[in-house]
Chain A
């Protein structure tokens, strides 16, 4: 399995993500410079965390105009899998590849801490190694992570199963106290209806080994492996076009 990691000016989790893919998952990782115009041949593409273009204008807004992000649309239409982590999630939102927008954290502060999140959906390429409702312990590190959609769209998202992760307490209860940034309904991760495109604010690549305080993030990467072997054995996913903003 070949996994591409798009590198923007200001990405800073690209090496961590590459480490998780290569050393933890044991698969091939390739850095893809953001000016690349095609993503063909990659089994999955990861948009890593960081501060692309210094978060100028809005987090992810400038990166969303880059050739590699424009290449995501045909890549996804052709069955490609895409994971956006933190700034990568913000880029997917700004590119209109996932619905919603990010606002500054309700506390007005950058939050860097471990959080718990509950898997709301385990039939996606990035969560198929999880148990339904499984609670993961992963770190967040962001200032603009307050997920927002208008209430009508929010209800539709939940109805279509597009909410993949919610912030929760250690027991899995979604409470205001467990929500680190004021995200709508505690939303920490959102996907397209098919699950082929996932954005999440917490960092699985920073918590894939016990040495780092949690190895729960490993399950996100091993899900990809499990998904790929399912495909190889003839089980294919129903891929739908990405949601337009």
Chain B
């Protein structure tokens, strides 16, 4: 493989990795506080993308307004999801398994209601022209959009850090993540904090979904499944609940996927398995993730 090739692969990997990182942040936040694998997170991605899509198509909103509306509505959908499918179980102190089953049900529900209403055929997502242009850096082609994504990710990281470490709500979130029962005893309004967490996580999902749709401008109701799982894996790899870890996990996964195929092109068909193999390796050797802390099991 020539050097140019390598650089092109490298660029592709950064591109993919930054997308995964962006989406993984939302996943990890919700899990960190709720200890819930929100299976429906992948669907929240696509819900955001579709709201943006229809905003442009039906309501003729300018693209940036449509995106903002999608993020807001996406947060709303996420909070509703919690209200309907998860909160009742929490209030009954249901076992974790029940939450997981509910999440799986919610995920399938969103996918299929999308199929019924929208249909299964791909829809072309709008791409603002500036993003679509490619720049040539030497022999390597780079889409302008590539420069935007890490920027957005950094902004989001900054925003999230501010929220979590500099606000009272954020402190409550951290308390909840660290010690759920005690936080309850301390009088924190659990349901409200969780709703905030979901709102934030779903808004991030919507942002991630829109970014994803701009990168791969063909969306359909099932398009969120694979990125959802892969980004969950990225979050686990980085250390679930750990936001910088999610970013690292996302990039790592993106790199492994692209470089794996770059060095072993005949394994291209196995590409989707790479994420799962990485998951199993991490779970076998360092289940708390690369940046996770060792959690001592108290009996």
> Do the two chains bind?
no
